[in-house]
Amino acid sequence: MDQIMKKVLIFLFPLLLSVNACKNPHETRIQEIETLMFALDSAKTVLHNMDTGMVIRRYRSCNENLQRISALADTVGRDDVFLIDEYARYQKAYRKALEKIGPFFEEIEVLPMQLENLKKDLSKNLIDEKQATSFLKNESHAAITLSQVIFQMSNGLQSIDADFIVCEEKILHLIERLEALKTRKS
């Protein structure tokens, strides 16, 4: 039995060394890229599930309501000023979200392609160690940042949703009150 074991080990040992030598030296980087691609895929799903139509409607609604208030009254009370200020903050949040969403759709498509190309180059050993480290550092920073910003924006929009609805109701009541005052004065 020992003789057979020795022969098997003598045969398998060089075979295992050759298999290990054939292993890609960039294997850990390739795994990092796959992890980044998974994170980007999750961010892409969140971005595509975001109700951009709702964001657009709310932004337009804010614009229209603030214009109506401006047209109806030159001066308003202190509480109304605070309410209008709060409403303007929602308008600003929705405007910022709209400005970011468009470029995010493009970037969320381009970045995985760049990572896939880097992965292919690494698997074929077309990139040296220094370049691989530099490229992976840049791409991972971009992927992580993009994913975080998308998740934060989605959470932010969800968190202000209920408060916006309450504020908008108050704004609509303010508009009704201002219209009634204007009608009485006419």
Q: Express as a percent the part of the chain with pLDDT over 70.
A: 86
What's the pLDDT tens digit per position in 143-157?
889 989 999 999 999
The DSSP output letter for 23 is S
Residue 32, CA distances (Å) to 13, 39, 42, 131, 136 in order: 30, 11, 15, 15, 9
Q: In this model, does residue 8 exceed pLDDT 90?
A: no
Amino acid 83: pLDDT: 96
Higher pLDDT, 3 or 137: 137
Mean pLDDT computed over every residue of the chain: 85
| Residue 7: per-residue pLDDT | 47
- pLDDT for 19 equals 43
- At 58 the pLDDT is 95
The tens digit of pLDDT for each residue in 63-73 reads: 999 999 999 98
pLDDT band at 80 (very low <50, low <70, confident <90, very high): very high
Q: What is the pLDDT of residue 24?
A: 64
**Per-residue pLDDT for 14 more than 60?**
no
Q: Classify residue 28 by burial, with Cβ atoms within 10 Å: 0-12, 13-18, 19+.
A: exposed
> Can you tell me the mean pLDDT for 64-91?
93
CA distance 129 to 47: 34
Q: What is the DSSP string of 123-167?
A: HTT-S-HHHHHHHHHHHHHHHHHHHHHHHHHHHHHHHHHHHHHHH
Among the residue ranges 19-33, 53-67, 71-85, 165-179, the one predicted with the least confidence is 19-33
- pLDDT band for position 131 (cuts 50, 70, 90): confident
Query: Cα(43)–Cα(155) distance, rounded to whole angstroms?
Result: 12
Assess contact for 68 and 175: CB atoms under 8 A: yes
Query: Is the pLDDT reported for residue 103 higher than 50?
Result: yes
Tokens 């050993």 belong to: 125
Amino acid letter, 27: E
What DSSP string describes 44-104? HHHHHHS-HHHHHHHHHHHHHHHHHHHHH-S---HHHHHHHHHHHHHHHHHHHHHHHHHHH
